[in-house]
Structure 1
Amino acid sequence: MTLGLCMIVKDEEEVLGRCLQSVQGVFDEIYITDTGSHDNTPRIAAQFTPFVFRFPWRQDFAAARNASFAPARTDYIMWLDADDVLLPQARQALLALKPRLGEADCWYLRYDAAFDAHGNVTLHFRRERIVRRSCGFVWEGAVHETLQVSGTTAQADISVTHLRAEHKEQGRNLRIFARLFADGKTPCSRQKYYFARELEDSGLYDTAACAYEWFLRGSGWAEDKICACRGLAHCHAACGRRQEQLEALLRSFAYAPPRAETCCCVGRFFVEEGNWKQAIFWFRLALHTGKAEAGGFVCPDASGYIPYMWLCVCYDKLGDIPRARACNELAGRCKPQDENYLHNARYFASLEQTAQGDTKP
């Protein structure tokens, strides 16, 4: 089986070389479609492949993705963004997968999308990443586009690592949505959700809250609904609407059993209220809740480090120092180098020294 890489790029000179270096020797052919770079991106691309194409930017990511797939001749196609990389372990795993690609029409790979200061993954999810070319799958969505797949699917234990570029064009996605609305196009359910997220990310909290309600009134994937409830809660919090904030979080439980991330949000709400016992209930629940469905956003810290750290705070506020210290140690097992854990450890050590000093005759 042959495997090709298809990419769309624009002004990616700072990261494209890093991406292509990380995948050397994996792909039989690499196809790069430039949508209007003003820097050295095309020149860098040409150092790695003769297949460099131009496609005029149309304010439509799906159109650009489909254009990038068009020249491919390999049996299978994989896509990456310029600020993605394959770490050595993932590169070797992908090479091992190549002979087995024919087992499915679409392969889902993990996407490690965010990290803490020590390189631990703080957000991951799965995406349709490798597809059989002859199936003719197409991209849909002018922004936050997705590949529409069918047939047989499979998952591979391989991670694509996202190393976010710093030069993201501010307001670009909202401008694309504005053009779609001006053209009289009605967004699908998923697009409504991402429109609300873009508004929230831009600090337009009142408008974002309305957009989240717009999405929640219709149909949609349960995991998106749950995330929308958390986004809606954040918007209400930013606008000082405390009761609506809590109601939005609790509303998410109508779509699926409580998710750890949501339980942590409810726990934080009660921390801010100074209701330590209520907060403890929700943080302890976060330690025992189910994970998101395959493909949903997963925050590993929400079912370990975060609730343990907040339980430490809550028990300390209640004067239960032994439990507070125990929870801090459990947080430290999750992240031994974390500065908050180390700070707390020093705090508890100082309390112990003070107590020992007080007991001396």
Structure 2
Amino acid sequence: MITVSVCMIVKNEEAVLARCLDSLKGIGDEIVIADTGSTDRTKEIAARYTDKVYDFPWNEDFAAARNFVLSKAEMEYIYSADADEVLDDENRRKFLEMKQTLSPDIEIVQMRYANQLQYNTTYNFDTELRPKLFRRLRTFRWVDPVHETVELTPRVLDSDITILHKPQNLHSPRDLSILERAAKSGKMSERLARMYAKELFISGTDADFLAAYPYFEAILHDENKSLDEVRVAQCVVSRAARIKNDPDTFFKAALKNVIGEPCAEVCCELGAWYFAAGDWEEAATWYYTAANGVQSELDLRTSGSIPLLRLAECYLKLGMTDEARECLARAEQCT
């Protein structure tokens, strides 16, 4: 049977920490918690479950905090948990069974992360596989009887264990603040830039888009950026330019996107531009395009409920009541 270190970083989680740790009963051979500055009873609650509670001064870097808590673990495998997660009885049983039978050559176990869309997160899937359990120390070995090489690809198991994500509140203001600072400091990977854009479209305010504008607008002029990076930037710049009422920048970004394979986000922005100008027919064209046949780049709602609701408004302005009712019915099915 494998041994497991449950590793967590926490801050002001008194409302949910006991719920999480109770649901993990029997899974962890040790629990290691790093507190990043709680001002409530979080550390007191954590101390009921483990004597391995450490302070980690918050430095706006979740990866640094997670690396710190991992450095304190001693078991064979790490289970990375968040305080707002819960394992129900069925999935706790599955986890305990897996703990008994997991093959020693498995290095990473992925588990299904559920309830994403319900809580308006940056992930466009209600349930998705995430790496949650992994070896603390990896053993490298040679493979192949001749022309031998070191095996570098980890052995991954996609399990049927489901973790319920049940946050008490949204973290988007905190996350957007960290992302904005990362962009300004040049600490933005391609992956993180896409996450920044997703966060903006799903929960960003006008002020958030305007703060992000310089970073994403610069991407449009950088020949070293990939096509994926440019398409993401076109989405953000289109929205920000519309907020700024800057038609030159807006149409440069938007029309370059729709020349090739348009994304739903930009089609919605074009619809919003023409809607604000009172051109209901042209707005309807772009909302119809977003809702029928193009893919979302960042936010699934931009190819579903958002354009359908706005298209219904356009149809009502144009006196097309039957078409408006149909759009509203389709939008209701998306939510």
TM-score when scaled to structure 1? 0.66
The 3-state SS of whatever aligns with 1:53 is strand
Tell me how far apart the structure 2 counterparts of residues 220 and 111 of structure 1 sit (CA, whole Å).
33
Contact map agreement 1:4 1:27 (CA 8 A) in 2: yes
User: In 2, Cα distance between the equivalents of 1:44 and 1:327?
Assistant: 50
Question: Structure 1: where are the runs of 5+ without partners?
Answer: 137-148, 336-361
Once the two structures are superposed, what CA deviation does each residue of 1:152-211 show, in whole Å capped at 9, x if it has no partner?
456566455252536866996279649x94xxxx52434883897699768265553211
CA distance in 1, matches of 2:233, 2:96: 37
Alpha-carbon displacement from aligned partner over 1:303-352 (angstroms, at most 9, x marks no partner): 332333223222222222222222222223334xxxxxxxxxxxxxxxxx
Question: What is the aligned counterpart of 1:289 among 294, 306, 324?
Answer: 294
Indicate conservation of the 8 Å contact 2:12/2:39, yes or no: yes
2:143 corresponds in structure 1 to none
- Aligned match of 1:146: none
The residue type paired with residue 242 of structure 1 is P
Whole-angstrom CA distance in 2 between matches of 1:227 and 1:60: 24
Residue from 236, 240, 243 that aligns with 1:235: 240
Change (3 A) 1:205 1:169: closer
Residue 212 (structure 1) shift: 1.1
- What corresponds to 2:54 in structure 1? 53
Equivalenced residues, count: 309
Deviations 1:19-39 (A, max 9, x none): 334544554543211123333
Q: Which moved more, 1:194-203 or 1:16-25?
A: 194-203
Give the aligned partner of residue 141 of structure 1: none
Structure 2: state its 5+ residue gaps: 140-151
Match of 1:105 among 100, 104, 108: 108
| TM superposition shift of 1:66 | 0.5
1:1-361 correspondence runs (5 A): 1-86=2-87, 99=101, 103=106, 105=108, 107=110, 109-110=112-113, 112-115=115-118, 123-124=123-124, 127-135=130-138, 151-153=154-156, 158=162, 160-161=164-165, 163=167, 165=169, 173=178, 177=182, 181=185, 186-190=186-190, 193=193, 203=207, 207-216=211-220, 217=222, 225-252=230-257, 257-285=261-289, 286-290=291-295, 297-299=298-300, 301-335=301-335
Tell me how far apart the structure 2 counterparts of residues 201 and 150 of structure 1 sit (CA, whole Å).
41
| Per-residue Cα deviation, 1:95-149 (whole angstroms, up to 9, x for no partner) | 6766568656363744644537xxx88953555444332239xxxxxxxxxxxx9
The match for 1:344 is none
Cα distance, 1:68 vs structure 2: 1.1
Q: Secondary structure at the match of 1:278?
A: helix
Q: For the residues of structure 1 that align with 2:261 and 2:112, how far apart are their CA atoms?
A: 25
Normalization by structure 2: what TM-score?
Answer: 0.70
Per the TM alignment, residue 63 of structure 1 is displaced from its structure 2 partner at its CA by 2.0
- Alignment partners' CA distance in 1, 2:258 and 2:157: 29
- Per-residue CA deviation, residues 2-31 of structure 1 (Å, 9 max, x unaligned), is 444321112332332343345445545432
Partners of 1:20 and 1:52 in 2: how far apart? 14
1:190–1:220 Cα contact (<8 Å) kept = no
Distance 1:236 1:128, change over 3 A: farther
Change (3 A) 1:238 1:155: farther
Could you tell me which residue of structure 1 aligns to residue 145 of structure 2?
none
**Cα distance in structure 2, aligned partners of 1:224 and 1:96:** 42
Match of 1:349 in 2: none
